[in-house]
Structure 1
Amino acid sequence: MTSPVLICRPGERGEALANALRATGTPVESLEVMALEALPESPAMRIAWLDIDQYDKVIVVSPFAAQCLSNALDRYWPQLPVGIDYYSVGSATAEILFDQLGVRVRIPPAASGQKGAVNEHGENTSEALLSLASLRDVAHQRILLVAGEGGRTLLADTLIERGAQVRRVAVYRRVFQPPSAAMQARLTTGDYQALIVTSGELLEHLAKWCDQAALNQPLIVSSHRLATLAGTLGFCDLKVASGATPAALAATLERSCNPKGADVDQGT
Structure 2
Amino acid sequence: MTSPVLICRPGERGEVLAEAIRSQGWPVERLDVMQLVPLKESAALRDTWLNIDQFQKVVVVSPFAAQCLAEALDRYWPQLPLGIAYYAVGAATAAALHQLLGIRVHLPSSTREDTSEALLELASLHEVAGQRILLVTGEGGRPLLDDTLSSRGARITRAATYRRQLDAPASGMRERLARGDYRALIVTSGELLEHLANWCDQAALNQLLIVSSRRLATLAGTLGFRTPMVASGATPAALTAALARACNPKDADVDQGT
One fold, TM greater than 0.5? yes
Please identify, of 96-105 and 33-42, the stretch whose mean Cα deviation from structure 2 is larger: 96-105
For residues 196-215 of structure 1, the aligned pairs below 5 Å read 196-215=186-205
For residues 227-256 of structure 1, what are the alpha-carbon distances to aligned partners after superposition, in whole Å with 9 as ceiling and x for unaligned?
000000000011100000000000000011
Structure 2 residue aligned with 1:133: 123
Q: For 1:243, which of 233, 239, 242 is the aligned residue? A: 233
Task: Give the secondary structure class of the aligned counterpart of 2:114.
Answer: coil
For residues 156-207 of structure 1, what are the alpha-carbon distances to aligned partners after superposition, in whole Å with 9 as ceiling and x for unaligned?
1000000000001100000011000000010011100000000000000000
Q: Which amino acid aligns with 1:209?
A: W
Task: Give the secondary structure class of the aligned counterpart of 1:12.
Answer: helix
Does 2:136 match 1:151?
no
- Report the CA distance between 1:92 and its aligned residue: 1.0
In 1, Cα distance between equivalents of 2:134 and 2:176: 42
In 1, Cα distance between equivalents of 2:46 and 2:86: 19
In 2, Cα distance between equivalents of 1:232 and 1:200: 12
Structure 2 unaligned residues grouped into runs of 5+: 253-258
Structure 2 residue aligned with 1:183: 173
Structure 1 residue aligned with 2:8: 8
For residues 98-145 of structure 1, what are the alpha-carbon distances to aligned partners after superposition, in whole Å with 9 as ceiling and x for unaligned?
11111110001132xxxxxxxxxx211101000000000000000000
For residues 55-95 of structure 1, what are the alpha-carbon distances to aligned partners after superposition, in whole Å with 9 as ceiling and x for unaligned?
00000000000000000110000101111000001111111
Structure 2 residue aligned with 1:74: 74
In 2, Cα distance between equivalents of 1:9 and 1:254: 19
Specify whether residues 199 and 39 from structure 1 end up closer, same or farther in structure 2 by C-alpha distance, changes over 3 A only. same
Structure 2 residue aligned with 1:116: none
Q: Which amino acid aligns with 1:140?
A: G
Structure 1 unaligned residues grouped into runs of 5+: 112-121, 263-268
Structure 2 residue aligned with 1:255: 245
Task: Give the secondary structure class of the aligned counterpart of 1:46.
Answer: helix
Structure 1 residue aligned with 2:164: 174
Task: Give the secondary structure class of the aligned counterpart of 1:208.
Answer: helix
Task: Give the secondary structure class of the aligned counterpart of 1:65.
Answer: helix
Structure 1 residue aligned with 2:21: 21
Task: Give the secondary structure class of the aligned counterpart of 1:69.
Answer: helix
Q: Give the TM-score normalised by structure 1.
A: 0.93
- Report the CA distance between 1:259 and its aligned residue: 2.3
Q: Which amino acid aligns with 1:160?
A: S
- Report the CA distance between 1:261 and its aligned residue: 6.5
Q: Which amino acid aligns with 1:216?
A: N
Q: Which amino acid aligns with 2:61?
A: V
For residues 75-114 of structure 1, the aligned pairs below 5 Å read 75-111=75-111
Structure 2 residue aligned with 1:55: 55
In 1, Cα distance between equivalents of 2:58 and 2:37: 21
In 2, Cα distance between equivalents of 1:136 and 1:109: 16
Structure 2 residue aligned with 1:32: 32
- Report the CA distance between 1:151 and its aligned residue: 0.7
- Report the CA distance between 1:13 and its aligned residue: 0.6
- Report the CA distance between 1:260 and its aligned residue: 3.3
Give the paired residue count. Answer: 252
In 2, Cα distance between equivalents of 1:253 and 1:241: 8
Q: Which amino acid aligns with 2:5?
A: V
